[in-house]
Homo-oligomer: A and B are copies of this chain.
Amino acid sequence: MKKLMLAVLASSALFGSVAVQAADIELKLAHTWPKGFPLFGTSVDEYAELVKELSDGRIEVKVDSRNKHKSAFGIFDFVKSGQYDIGQSASYYYGGKDPDTLFFTTMPFGMTSAEQTAWFYEGGGLDLANEVYGKHGIEVMPAGNTGMQMGGWFRKEINSVDDLKGLKMRIPGFGGKVMAGVGAIPTNIPAGELFQALERGTIDALEWVGPSLDLRMGFHKVAPFYYSGWHEPSTELMYFFNQEKMQSLPEWAQSILRNAAKLTAHNMTTETFHASAENWSQISQQFPDVQIKQFPASVIAALRESNEKLITAESERSEIAARIVASQKAYLEKARAWTVIGDKLYLDSVSE
């Protein structure tokens, strides 16, 4: 009987109960955003809450925003080194650590949110991501999608490729390189200075996210042309897990951490879709002068050509880069054919 009781005590200590006050497993998480940042940051707080609930309090995730850890783009190193057990950020911020991380956020003229989600989970995308991150002792999972990012706020209309030549635009990353390829001058400016830069004409245009996060920035008050998207058609954030730490946990805990991440990602995607719908409704009603614009076909063609050159160069960089580019291209082709005969033809048929 004593032996049994000890076994019960041991298993109770290991697996917890309402009677146990402290969590059995405590994990530290660092994310890129300011504390309480809408959608990107708040979804991480929801993740910690969900993990706690699903585990009946046995797993506690302590969330540090960049206000605490002071290093917005240090997430990759934090998790690689084990300083933090979990991270949440965007993969394409870490091209300096490993250029193959570039492919796992979104690509210009790439997949939509539904298409890319299917590529990650059903088309081999997540396996490729984990092949890249595994070299650094990190396991990754999608963390939520902004949906289509808009092409940006422009002070003047763009009627030809010539109108892009010399255009000063805040557009960082790969999209900026594509823009540079057609003669624009991509710049990066801290978020807090963007509104003034656009208002004063220091820059001619900028892209931020989409209605979900653009509304609070106020760009619609100083640049009336809102262009449809091309450079980030489905920006996916990423959870990072320290592999060694993850694998040291019992299976039920691993399952909760991964499945809660997967669900939180879907929740953020839905919440962001909703915020975009609500915020675009506000902008379009309160600022009727704002005009939705599409780049002319000649501009799209020039941007696609510039993009193709860059992607080809990327795919020649390494064996794995070539495989990732080929996988994305093949999946996009199949998935897009379905998107077109499914959602697109429906939307065409009901649009006036």
Which A positions have Cβ atoms within 8 angstroms of B?
Answer: 5, 7-9, 11-12, 14-19, 50, 53-57, 109, 112-115, 117-118, 121-123, 147-148, 150, 210-211, 226, 228-230, 233, 250-252, 255-256, 259-260, 262-263, 266-267, 270-271, 273-274, 276-278, 280-281, 284, 292, 294-295, 297, 300, 304, 331, 334-335, 337-351
A12-B17, A252-B54 are contacts. A342–B148 as well, Cβ < 8 Å?
A: yes
B118-A228 in contact (CB<8A): no
- Tell me the smallest distance from the CB of A299 to a CB of chain B, in Å: 9
B16-A345 in contact (CB<8A): no
How far, in angstroms, from A14 to B11 measured CA to CA in the complex? 13
11 A-B pairs, CB-CB below 8 angstroms?
Answer: A8-B8, A15-B16, A15-B17, A53-B255, A114-B273, A228-B346, A230-B349, A259-B263, A277-B335, A294-B345, A300-B350
A252-B56, A274-B123, A350-B300 are contacts. A11–B5 as well, Cβ < 8 Å?
A: no
Nearest to A274 among chain B residues (CB) is: B122
- A contact face: mostly helix, strand, loop, or mixed: helix
A349-B294 in contact (CB<8A): yes
Nearest to A299 among chain B residues (CB) is: B349
A12-B8, A114-B114, A123-B274 are contacts. A150–B341 as well, Cβ < 8 Å?
A: yes
- Chain copies in the assembled complex: 2
B334-A277 in contact (CB<8A): yes
Residues in B with CB closer than 8 Å to A284 are 337
Residues in B with CB closer than 8 Å to A280 are 334, 337-338, 341
Residues in B with CB closer than 8 Å to A273 are 114-115, 117-118, 122, 335, 338
B117-A270 in contact (CB<8A): yes
Nearest to A16 among chain B residues (CB) is: B15
**Interchain CB contact (< 8 A) of A341 among B250, B259, B292:** B292
Residues in B with CB closer than 8 Å to A350 are 109, 230, 300, 304
* Max chain B Cβ within 10 angstroms of own Cβ: one of A260, A337, A338: A338
A233-B114 in contact (CB<8A): no
A15-B18, A277-B334 are contacts. A118–B270 as well, Cβ < 8 Å?
A: yes
Further contacts, 6 of them, CB under 8 A, given A113-B114, A147-B343, A292-B345 = A15-B18, A118-B270, A147-B342, A229-B342, A277-B331, A344-B347
B345-A278 in contact (CB<8A): no
How far, in angstroms, from A51 to B234 measured CA to CA in the complex? 30
List the 10 closest A-B pairs by CB distance, nearest first.
A228-B345, A56-B252, A11-B17, A122-B274, A148-B342, A277-B338, A266-B266, A263-B263, A53-B255, A15-B17
